[in-house]
Amino acid sequence: MKKNIIYFVFALLSVTFTYAQEFSVGTNVINAGIGLGGYYGGYSTSSQSPVLSVSYERGVWDVPGPGVVSLGGYFGRKTFKYNSIGSDYSWSYNVIGVRGAYHYLGLEVENLDVYAGAMASYRIYSGDRANNFGSSPGGTAFIGGRYYFAENFAVFAEGGYGVALLSVGASFRF
């Protein structure tokens, strides 16, 4: 399944149609996604949730290239449960961050927004096993794309090392 998602994102990023500016100064976007992959302390768990994330970004300035820089925030969460004889543990991994991205506007692809950026974050571990990991500041780089099926609705895929290695989901532009 991971290969299919990667092929889908590659196909979206390599198709060319007609030019349309899908991200500009003043554009606001909210992403809601599910993440795949990642490393969370190396424990073998009995069960774990998928990574759930939400992010917001706003186009803040035009830059040569052509492109637009956006700034925004991010929250991601993953939970774990470990059951062994006579012991049950649960803990969560949360990431809160601020991020900036460069949206490249030079592709001649209608309804496509491609971007890359960086995030400064704080990783918070909580629960029964949290003391084994400790909370800490972090950072990540990411690359992604959105394809708009309607003026205000898109699907997105984003890769990078944050809470998940690959996130997919829906985007809402306003």
Q: Supply the pLDDT for residue 43.
A: 54
Q: Supply the pLDDT for residue 20.
A: 44
Distance CA 14, CA 34 (A): 24
- Could you report the per-residue pLDDT of 134-162, keeping only the tens digit for each? 789 999 999 999 999 999 999 999 998 77
Q: Supply the pLDDT for residue 28.
A: 98
List CB contacts of 95: < 8 A, sequence separation 6 or more: 74, 75, 76, 77, 121, 122, 123, 124, 138, 162, 163
Kindly report the pTM of this predicted structure.
Answer: 0.80
Q: Supply the pLDDT for residue 158.
A: 96
Q: Supply the pLDDT for residue 59.
A: 97
Distance CA 91, CA 78 (A): 9
Q: Supply the pLDDT for residue 46.
A: 63
Distance CA 136, CA 131 (A): 12
Distance CA 168, CA 159 (A): 9
pLDDT in tens, the chain (174 residues): 555 555 555 544 444 333 346 899 999 999 999 998 765 554 555 678 889 999 999 999 999 889 999 999 999 998 888 777 777 778 888 999 999 999 999 998 999 999 999 999 999 988 865 556 678 999 999 999 999 999 999 999 999 877 788 999 999 999
Which range marks the domain in which residue 112 is found? 2-173
Q: Supply the pLDDT for residue 13.
A: 45
**CATH number, domain with residue 111:** 2.40.160.20
Number of domains present in the structure of the chain: 1
List CB contacts of 134: < 8 A, sequence separation 6 or more: 125
